[in-house]
């Protein structure tokens, strides 16, 4: 399970990385080249689409950080986890959970995201 936990931690690190070059390196490390990401707001394919989505979320929620909201639950090639988005030490502004499919190379090939709590107007 520790490899799944590490992958999820690197996934969240990609969402938190604000330096474009470093973020793109994390995206390449974590995601398969043709990975898909789907949540209620966006659906993208490929690392460039993922990077652009992460950059847009960072712009919308400037200064906030993603963190793991509980344990990672995994079996076979799947993992699910709750995440929080907010300021350090404060109640999270946004809460969601993701289900990821992990490819044979250990990278994420698909993300299915769900939003449990979103501020009005976001």
Q: Which tens digit of pLDDT belongs to each residue from 54-80?
A: 999 999 999 999 999 999 999 999 999
**Residues in a beta bridge with 11:** none
d(CA 92, CA 88): 9
Structure pTM?
A: 0.94
Give the mean pLDDT of 24-37.
98
d(CA 5, CA 88): 21
Confidence at residue 1, expressed as pLDDT on a 0 to 100 scale: 45
Q: Give percent of the chain above pLDDT 90.
A: 93
Residue 106 tokens read as 């250990």
d(CA 103, CA 9): 17
Give the mean pLDDT of 112-118.
96
Give the mean pLDDT of 13-35.
98
Confidence at residue 6, expressed as pLDDT on a 0 to 100 scale: 97
HSE-CB at 83 with a 13 A cutoff on CA atoms is 24
């Amino acid at each position: 399970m520790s490899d799944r936990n590490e992958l999820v931690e690197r996934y969240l690190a990609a969402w938190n990385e604000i330096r474009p070059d470093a973020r793109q390196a994390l995206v390449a490390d974590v995601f398969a080249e043709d990975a898909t990401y789907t949540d209620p707001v966006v659906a993208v394919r490929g690392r460039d689409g993922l990077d652009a989505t992460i950059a847009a979320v960072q712009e919308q929620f400037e200064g906030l950080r993603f963190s793991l909201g509980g344990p990672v639950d995994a079996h076979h090639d799947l993992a699910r986890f709750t995440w929080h988005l907010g300021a350090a030490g404060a109640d999270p502004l946004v809460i969601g959970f993701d289900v990821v499919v992990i490819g044979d190379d250990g990278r994420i090939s698909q993300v299915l995201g769900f939003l449990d709590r979103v501020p009005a107007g976001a």
